[in-house]
Structure 1
Amino acid sequence: MAPEYALHGRFSEKSDVFSFGVLLLEIMTGRRNGGSERTEDAGTISEWAWENWMEGRGVELIDPSMRDTCNPLHAMKCINVGLLCVQEIMDERPTMSEVVVMLSNETATVPLPKKPAFTIYRRSQILRDHSNNEVTVTNVEPR
């Protein structure tokens, strides 16, 4: 879910771009965003992909079932575009027409992504059953 929708209830065409980016990352990595393979430290798929991307392990993000059959440069381009689509600030995400050009044109320039949305809070921090000072108790329940 796009941050502007999750936090403020605002929906736009850039919200669809965010969702497309998550889907593209899921396809390229073979992982689900809400899947059980996540560990406490992995967070969202965009956070996991971003951390690997920044550590220079982008090729390791490619789904093992397609590593031998896909063009690694094309796969890395798809991951790069996926990370561009999940940028926190709506205006920093490409439009869908720009995404189509980046993915379909061999010579299209693809900018480097910035840190994606929802990487500030780790899952382990969100799921704590106490406050940071361990004095108060909080029950984490959905609305």
Structure 2
Amino acid sequence: MAPSGDQPDPTARAETYVTTNIIPQTAALNENKWAHIEQRVRDLTEEEGELYVVTGPDFGRAPVDLLGPDRVYVPARTWKAVYSPGSNRAGAYVCDNVQQRPHCMQESVQDLTQQTGVDPFPQVAASVKARAWLLP
């Protein structure tokens, strides 16, 4: 789920629009809060010098919504985990994938891992993942 805006040239940007790099995301989330989060992470990369960023879907525990005749799974939430090796901090943005007033929050990578079953940074110390880095 690499954003096209993070890519260095038109060819690389075009390569982000393949089905293996996208998920269904509501326009209300994608065009507003999510775009703002992506820009915040770009700005943070400039400040920190180096970041590791992992983005993914959370299908939740309830029945999964299906979209269209191909019955594409629609995630309940979208998340972006961020780790700075320079300052040894980690945190995550988590956003509800809803059409009306999507809500985004920040949490620790430990909490994200417990909720999704995905550890985006398996080599990072548990003590770092347990503290939520207050992201911009």
Is TM-score (shorter-chain normalized) higher than 0.5? no
Which structure is richer in relative contact order (CA contacts within 8 A, separation 6 or more)? 1
Q: Which has the higher helix share?
A: 1
Q: Which has the higher strand share?
A: 2
Q: Which has the larger radius of gyration?
A: 1
Q: TM-score, normalised by structure 2?
A: 0.30
Q: TM-score, normalised by structure 1?
A: 0.29
